[in-house]
Copies of this chain bind each other. A is one copy, B any other.
């Protein structure tokens, strides 16, 4: 087994930090203009990549997702083209025609096969992609190596995020070579009506078996992006994809050895970091809420209960109001229906115990209010009935969320 101590952070790193990857972005005018804005980006590998992905479970799906799913099903990719400002969703048959055309435009520009290009779109639902703009501006993207290039791509997928989210980590493989895993993501923040998507792209320069790449990504997503909640809604365009190109020359990763353990740790850390950053940047948010549930009968039970706490409107408004309202935490854990004994439950707010054996205990209210004033609030519940552990992340619910999301489109 490996752990995070084997990993080194790459300062300023992101999705273009791994060897053999290039990226870039441009402002094409698909979304509202503004300083330092980008809305069309390319991610490119100088050689074939193994690819894995997880996608929205929504029955209404953007054709951009359909195209990317097909690439993942074939298992091999060379590039990603992503746009913000338009979701390419609920536009009838034209959506799939346009998504395939976008892949072809990127393929032509980069000199790769269109079947190896993932497509991602995020923005307004119900509006067709501006194909002329995409055709005109794709050639203007300066696809290149380096962290600045990765940052442009990270900015090109942003909608209402207040800042770009990216990270890269490195570890030493068993042959002494250096492996990099980097990524970027955009959040489910939805200031502009109809915008609602989580996108994440991860690249690595080690060589990875496709089945192992998919299982590693799926596990990491289960522990990260599936454990964040901003408003309980699921976009038509959600995509997490990982590309592995082997450019580092490190031993092939396929599970069961030390390199595989290090690789899995790196992918989990990248996913976890990006998921937490999305929760922290939820629209109108003042606090990052980390819900921890321990002592459950299973990890799955603990994750379910943690998700319920982080997602509860009553918990989220209480955190906003700096109110140590433990009854709402009990309610949120209990409504999941997981096994528990009420009289065994302990609850802590940023380390200060407020409930013991299912009942309130004497605590200094000012200390708890001060704890709730911190930008990060941890709500920890111990069920004391097993070893199950789970975490989930969310943000407080403020008036600003309501104001943002009730803005007129008309």
Give the complex CA separation of A87 and B328 in angstroms. Answer: 13
Interface 0/1 of A263-302, CB less than 8 Å to B: 0000000000000000000000000000000000000000
Contacts of A401 in B (CB 8 A): 313, 317, 402
Does A11 sit within 8 A of B, measured CB to CB?
Answer: no
With known contacts A233-B313, A326-B126, A335-B58, A92–B357 Cβ distance under 8 A: yes
> A337: shortest Cβ distance to chain B, in Å?
6
Within 8 A of B (CB), among A225-277: 231-236
Instruction: Kindly list the 6 A-B residue pairs having the minimum CB-CB distance in the complex, ordered from nearest.
Output: A321-B406, A125-B327, A60-B334, A317-B405, A58-B334, A59-B334
Question: What are 21 pairs between A and B in contact, CB < 8 Å?
Answer: A57-B335, A57-B337, A59-B337, A60-B342, A90-B327, A90-B342, A124-B327, A126-B326, A193-B327, A196-B327, A231-B313, A232-B312, A233-B332, A233-B335, A235-B331, A314-B405, A317-B402, A322-B408, A323-B408, A399-B399, A401-B402
B92 touches A313 (CB 8 A): no
Q: Which among B312, B334, B368, B397 is the interface contact of A402 at CB below 8 angstroms? A: B397
From B91, B328, B369, B403, contact of A194 by CB (8 A): B328
Q: A58-B335, A318-B405 are in contact. List 12 more A-B contacts (CB 8 A).
A: A60-B331, A60-B333, A61-B334, A90-B327, A90-B355, A92-B357, A92-B359, A232-B312, A233-B331, A320-B402, A321-B408, A324-B410
User: In this assembly, does A132 line the interface, its C-beta being within 8 Å of a C-beta of chain B?
Assistant: no
Report A405 CB to chain B, min CB distance, Å: 4
A235 to B91, CA, bound (A): 41
**Known contacts A234-B331, A236-B331, A325-B193; is A358 also within 8 Å of B317 by CB?**
no
| Minimum C-beta distance from A396 to chain B (A) | 8
Closest to A339 in B: B59
Contact with B along A76-93 (1 / 0, CB 8 A): 000000000001011111
User: Does A338 sit at the interface, judged by CB under 8 A?
Assistant: yes
Which chain B positions have C-beta within 8 A of A90? 327, 330, 342, 355, 358-360
Q: Does A407 contact B (CB under 8 A)?
A: yes
Contact residues in B for A339 (Cβ distance below 8 Å): 59
Complex Cα distance, B143 from A372, in Å, reads: 47
A211 to B402, CA, bound (A): 45
- The distance from the CB of A200 to the nearest CB of chain B, in whole angstroms, is 19
Q: What's the least CB distance linking A22 to chain B, in Å?
A: 34
Which of B126, B311, B325, B365 is the one whose CB lies under 8 Å from A359? B126
CB distance from A105 to the nearest CB of B (A): 24
Determine if A314 and B231 form an interchain contact, defined as CB atoms under 8 angstroms apart.
yes
A217 at the interface (CB under 8 A from B): no
User: Which residues of B are found within 8 Å of A193, using beta-carbon distances?
Assistant: 318, 321, 323, 325, 327-328
Across the interface, name the chain B residue whose C-beta is closest to A126: B360
Query: Which B residues are in CB contact (< 8 Å) with A320?
Result: 402, 406
If A321-B407, A333-B60 touch, whether A327 touches B233 (CB-CB below 8 Å) is no
User: A343 to B59, Cβ gap below 8 A?
Assistant: no
Q: How far is the CB of A370 from chain B (nearest CB, A)?
A: 11
Complex Cα–Cα for A123 and B51 (A):
53
Closest chain-B Cβ to A37's Cβ sits at a distance in Å of 22
Kindly list chain B residues whose C-beta atoms are within 8 Å of the C-beta of A342.
59-61, 90
A109 at the interface (CB under 8 A from B): no
Residues of chain B within 8 A of A340, CB atoms compared: 59-60
A190 sits at the interface (CB 8 A): yes
Known: A59-B334, A90-B358, A327-B124. A313 touches B232 (CB 8 A): yes
| Residue from A124, A321, A403 whose CB has the most chain B CB atoms within 10 Å | A321
Q: Tell me the complex Cα distance, A368–B410, Å.
A: 10
